[in-house]
Chain A
Amino acid sequence: MDDIDRSLLSLLEEDCSTPLHELAVMLACSEEEIAKRRQQLEKDGIIRRYSAVINWEQVDKGAVYAIIELKVAPERDHGYDRIAARISRFTNVRNLWLRTGTHDLQLLVKGKSMQEIARFVSEQVAPMEQIRETATHIIMKTYKENGVHYVEREDGQRLPFSF
């Protein structure tokens, strides 16, 4: 992992559709070299996936996102890992973290409706025997996600010419 790898990762994180030629020119390397480095980063599992950042709020008008906090009784020998692995299998679970603070696990869940979220919490998560408490918070509006602003901002204007 050198400076060129790091720069390559930043460039791909920002826009993974950047043509190979442009990546090579910007990083002052040959295209072959960049392709080789990229393959290695994929193989090492550093690059997990190439995806688009989509504002689903604009598409699925009824979709609901919720943050669900869980108090969990850790298991001997496994701690939180087994219950976390089990919860993460649900496809509507978009993110899952073990965190500090009042609760142990925190999930970001996507549902088609409030009812669907409610059903998921009450019928699928809460009944698990290690779960001691749940707290569900509905997302009302997304302002920024993965470093991308979702709310239109007024950008500063520059003069078209200046010395």
Chain B
Amino acid sequence: MLNVKTDNACHSRSEQKKRDFISDRAKVIPPSGIRRFFDLAGQMEDVISLGVGEPDYSTPWHICDAAITSIEQGHTAYTSNTGLESLRQELARFLRERYQVEYEPKSEMIITTGVSEGLDIAIRAVVNPGDEVLVVDPSYVSYAPCVTMAGGTPVSVPCAEKDRFRLSADVLMQHITPQSKAMVLNFPNNPTGGVMRREDLEAIADIAIDHDLLILSDEVYAELTYEGHHVATAAIEGLWDRTITLSGFSKAFAMTGWRLGYICAPSEITAAILKIHQYVMLSSPTMSQYAALEALKNGEEAMREMVREYHLRRNLFVDGLNRIGLPCHIPEGAFYAFPSVKGTGLSDYEFAERLITEAGVAVVPGSAFGASGTGHVRCSYAVSRKELSEAIRRMDEFIRSLP
């Protein structure tokens, strides 16, 4: 009897009316543009994936070992909200020596759980409802949704292939309105590999100052710059005061899974961001922070070795793309090639879908990174040279099979 009664109770509960629990904000952010490919890749065997946005290296062992040691020593509690002081000090040295940028470890730095967290809390700390935030296009997929979730309006600023995917001052000007408050830069760029040289940043600086804009500069690929040296946005005269520098350890030190990044900004901005950070994250993973400390102290050689290898692969892969008839500019940074597939007569989505099903090579359609990526595909060359050569062979065969 008791059972029957319970069943009835459940039955009537399940028939209760429910309102729509999902927030309007969650509804307006678009779903991931590559879910479909993820499923396709899962069904197939022997796929060479050039769709990966992370290094193919494991974290250098001495860095892993430092994290293991920190656990053995019992460093398993929270750190201060801003992160380990020793890490911030080492980071200040690193930024000064590598990019000639000065940040005070006590008041102008927060260690974050990846650049992902840093981006979110930085945007929330500066965007009011109705503010427009200029976002370079194409670019990493999180910027616009983060702006939307903070109540702001993302405004795409196209970076054209003819400008080598750099942000041109003229194009930027055309997108500025009285509501413009900030802009998100991402150079070296994911997905194009485009890099802003000093003179390009200086042209942007004048506009930022004239229109009193804040710059959020995601420089997570900074160390992966192959022609010359990375120029930090905050190192440009007049920009330090109006720049939030976002970066992390994932790409340069092959540490994506450790989830560790940092924010550097003038103290009044840092203080505002810190309030959000302490409520939503409290502190970043302690063992990851010890790993990052080791990376900064002793990881430069391993990092250079990886960067040298990416450079060789880039030369090899981009040459291959151009040879098989997929025109590709020389990406000066990151580990992505962004060839045009317009010549094949297929859209970037069609190309990517057919390439994976017919040739077993996974790439990401460029339009997943914004309208300006249309007609291109993103190919990551963070895979072995052997796989890159095989991928080129398969892509060549696929293109030849097209009418």
Contact = CB atoms under 8 A, between A and B. Distances in A.
A28 B53 CA distance: 25
Given A26-B312, A26-B316, A160 B51 contact: yes
B42 A163 contact: no
A161 B312 contact: no
Nearest to B42: A160
B389 A161 contact: no
B316 A162 contact: no
Interface string A1-26: 00000010001000000000010011
A48 to B, nearest CB: 23
A7 B52 contact: no
Which of A27, A158, A159 has the most chain B CB within a 10 Å cutoff? A158
Nearest to B362: A160
Nearest to B33: A163
A123 B47 CA distance: 57
A161 B58 contact: no
B52 A159 contact: yes
A147 interface: no
A161 B362 contact: yes
A161 B36 CA distance: 10
Interface residues of B, number: 29
A25 B319 contact: yes
A158 B312 contact: no
A161 B319 contact: no
Contact of A156 (B58, B364, B389): B58
B240 interface: no
B397 interface: no
B330 to A, nearest CB: 10
B141 A163 contact: yes
A156 B313 CA distance: 21
Contact of A160 (B38, B141, B308, B319): B38
B41 interface: yes
Interface centre among A11, A22, A28, A160 (most CB of B within 10 A): A160
Nearest to B388: A22
A99 B25 CA distance: 70
B371 interface: no
Contact of A26 (B51, B52, B315): B315
Interface in A42-89: none
B56 A158 contact: yes
A163 B51 CA distance: 8
B364 A160 contact: no
A156 B42 CA distance: 17
B178 to A, nearest CB: 32
6 smallest A-B Cβ distances: which pairs? A161-B51, A160-B41, A26-B312, A162-B53, A160-B49, A25-B319
Interface of B: 34, 37-38, 41-42, 47, 49, 51-54, 56, 58, 140-142, 190, 308, 312-313, 315-316, 319, 362, 364, 368-369, 385, 389
